A and B are shown apart, each in its own frame.
Chain A
Amino acid sequence: DVKVTQSSRYLVKRTGEKVFLECVQDMDHENMFWYRQDPGLGLRLIYFSYDVKMKEKGDIPEGYSVSREKKERFSLILESASTNQTSMYLCASSSLAGGQETQYFGPGTRLLVL
């Protein structure tokens, strides 16, 4: 059974703070993703990674950075948190094994920036 874990379920931070969100998957998946989910907008891709030390910008990378030093771990960093980054953050992983990509999600982190 695939397991994707995120370091926190709920976080409250102040404007200007640096925020680290950690994601770990235990299925040796090559691909990992960070999304944010906001009402009425669905999931929007922030960054993704297809391999260790590799990263690609998604649709809304501004104000975020990522790190993938190990295959199982993908970190999202908010360099200087702002109130418009209050959101639900979802990490996902996937593999192309079997030719069909299915994304498995972590439980999400609800971030509130005051």
Chain B
Amino acid sequence: RKEVEQDPGPFNVPEGATVAFNCTYSNSASQSFFWYRQDCRKEPKLLMSVYSSGNEDGRFTAQLNRASQYISLLIRDSKLSDSATYLCVVNRNNDMRFGAGTRLTVKP
């Protein structure tokens, strides 16, 4: 079993749609959590950290459920520019574990 599992997608949604990605992790001792975004043929870049209380950054909302070892990312009012692969990342003692990513395509 992979340490970090994500639905690979692809998710194809129209502009303006709301889309949610899920991620599960296997190590209950994981300490910090992130979502990274990776555009085609580019490097991953930090999108947002995920806090226990949940956090929001504009159209993006991240949630963490430690009991279920589950992380989510919600994107509201999708834009064409949101098309990318979203990587779930879990950290324990500076050991970062990456999911394989969920691919999103937002269509006009």
Cβ-defined partner of A31 (8 Å) among B4, B94, B101: B94
Asked if B45 lies at the interface with its beta carbon under 8 angstroms from chain A, I say yes
Q: Does B100 interact with chain A (Cβ within 8 Å)?
A: yes
Closest Cβ–Cβ distance, residue A12 to chain B (whole Å): 17
In the complex, per-residue mask of B87-108: 1 if CB is within 8 Å of any chain A CB, else 0: 1000100111011110000000
CA gap between A80 and B8 in the complex, in Å: 33
A42 adjacent to B43 (CB under 8 Å): no
Known: A100-B49, A101-B91, A101-B94. Contact between A40 and B8, CB under 8 A? yes
Q: Enumerate 28 A-B pairs (CB-CB under 8 Å) in ascending A order.
A: A33-B96, A35-B98, A40-B8, A40-B100, A41-B100, A42-B2, A42-B98, A42-B99, A42-B100, A43-B44, A45-B96, A50-B94, A90-B44, A94-B94, A100-B32, A100-B49, A101-B32, A101-B96, A102-B46, A102-B49, A103-B46, A105-B43, A105-B44, A105-B45, A106-B43, A107-B42, A107-B43, A108-B42
